[in-house]
Structure 1
Amino acid sequence: MAFDIWLAFLLASCLISISPGAGAVNTMSNGLRHGVRNTLPAILGLQLGYGAQILLVGVGLGALLASSALAFALVKWIGVAYLIWLGVQKFREGGFGVAGDDQPQESAQKRFWNAAFVNLTNPKATVFLVALFPQFVDPNASHMTQFLEMGVTLIVVDVVVMLGYATLASRLLGWLKTPARQRHMNRVFGSLFMGAAVLMASYRHGQ
């Protein structure tokens, strides 16, 4: 991939990651509850889901979701249901221990897989990648090499942006000292998860 083309793709990758979505909500929620270091498993889980989306596009299954209304609807509604479930769970949570407390926290494994599933069940990301990648692919060069370069760029950028979101969220930990404030924050993020579900549900096949 030519350097100027890669720079353009890098800019597009930054805009994609910075735009708030279900992954950013998940990261900020974990950053508030667990601090930056303990949010790393969730960030890595998001990248597993993102990497799977990129792989799907690379092997052509992304085109299937773009062309098959049934496949698109199946993945979309699984994702919608999961985000609503996450939102309800956040709404039902009471106060939580801020980073450094002795209270038990969610396991790193659970944070990893919860985050991975958030990205795995987002068909809009798949369809978006199907639309994005061809804009930067040189038909006269190796497609696999170019997909690898673009995939690595997307994931590295997303890791950096998610770390930024987690850091920003963790700065609020000092404010979240009382159970009442913690419950309010849980309800805010529960609402955001359910809002992300509504946005995903409103995204129709062919948009």
Structure 2
Amino acid sequence: MSFESWAAFAAASAVLLVIPGPTILLVVSYALGQGWRTALPIAVGVALGDFTAMTLSMLGIGALLAASATVFTVLKIAGAAYLVYLGVKLFRAGGTLRAEPRADAASSARMMAHAWLVTALNPKSITFFVAFLPQFIDRHGDFFTQMMIFEATFLALAFTNAFGYALVASRARNLVGNPKALRIFNRTGGTLLIGAGIATVAMRSGN
């Protein structure tokens, strides 16, 4: 695996993680209702959930890699197209983040478990990883080494992202609900995702 592939993976992952989905809505809901104390347990739960979904996905990708080079290549191209699709969808998204404050008294362990369940058991998580990861994997490199590097990178980014969302939501609630700020954020992220999808295709065609 080249440094360029790892850097492309890290950049695309960082953009993908900040897209408000079910996990981020849960993070923001807890933070709006209970403040900054939710940041650490929620971030740990999100990272554990991503670890679960990502490990299951990587094992499936490893099986595809061993079974068929053609299927694996098709999956890589589909993954690049998926990035572009997500980018267009995010660019066209509105400027609202529908997250209702959760005022129910929940322990740190319960919040962590809730975040893990929402992240790991969302069927879209595994589907996403199966479509997203193959385009960055070197077929000629050691698969398990790449698996560990990609997982460690993604989990560090996932933890940081969830922690940051929780802090922002608890301290800057007006920003979270600001349509103009969210619209700019969505358009910037969408543009970066489209660029990442195109870049991964160009990177492969140049090899």
Aligned partner of residue 134 in structure 1, secondary structure: helix
**Displacement after TM superposition at 1:38 (Å):** 3.0
Q: Tell me the amino acid that sits aligned with residue 12 of structure 1.
A: A
Q: Tell me the amino acid that sits aligned with residue 11 of structure 1.
A: A
| Residue aligning to 2:15 | 15
Contact 1:57–1:63 at 8 Å: present in 2 too? Answer: no
Q: Tell me the amino acid that sits aligned with residue 30 of structure 1.
A: Y
**Displacement after TM superposition at 1:35 (Å):** 2.2
Name the CA distance, whole Å, in 2 between partners of 1:132 and 1:44: 23
Alignment of 1:109-120 (within 5 A): 109-120=109-120
Name the CA distance, whole Å, in 1 between partners of 2:63 and 2:127: 8
CA spacing shift, 1:62–1:120, aligned 2, 3 Å: farther
Aligned partner of residue 36 in structure 1, secondary structure: helix
Contact 2:39–2:166 at 8 Å: present in 1 too? Answer: yes
Aligned partner of residue 105 in structure 2, secondary structure: coil
| Residue aligning to 1:56 | 56
CA spacing shift, 1:140–1:62, aligned 2, 3 Å: closer
| Residue aligning to 1:140 | 140
Q: Tell me the amino acid that sits aligned with residue 32 of structure 1.
A: L
**Displacement after TM superposition at 1:173 (Å):** 6.5
Spell out structure 1 runs of 4+ moving beyond 2 A. Answer: 33-39, 61-64
Alignment of 1:28-47 (within 5 A): 28-47=28-47
Contact 1:45–1:114 at 8 Å: present in 2 too? Answer: yes
**CA offset digits 1:12-37 (Å, max 9, x no partner):** 10111011101101111121222223
| Residue aligning to 1:156 | 156
Name the CA distance, whole Å, in 2 between partners of 1:61 and 1:140: 14
- Count how many residue pairs are aligned between Structure 1 and Structure 2: 139
Q: RMSD value over aligned CA atoms?
A: 2.5
Please give the TM-score of this superposition, normalised by the length of structure 1.
0.61
Percent identity at matched positions?
32
Alignment of 1:70-81 (within 5 A): none
Contact 2:41–2:108 at 8 Å: present in 1 too? Answer: yes
Contact 1:42–1:111 at 8 Å: present in 2 too? Answer: yes
Contact 1:58–1:147 at 8 Å: present in 2 too? Answer: yes
Contact 1:56–1:62 at 8 Å: present in 2 too? Answer: no
| Residue aligning to 1:87 | none
Q: Tell me the amino acid that sits aligned with residue 133 of structure 1.
A: L
Name the CA distance, whole Å, in 2 between partners of 1:62 and 1:19: 27
Name the CA distance, whole Å, in 2 between partners of 1:108 and 1:24: 17
Q: Tell me the amino acid that sits aligned with residue 125 of structure 1.
A: S
Contact 1:63–1:130 at 8 Å: present in 2 too? Answer: no
Name the CA distance, whole Å, in 1 between partners of 2:132 and 2:43: 23
**Displacement after TM superposition at 1:148 (Å):** 1.0
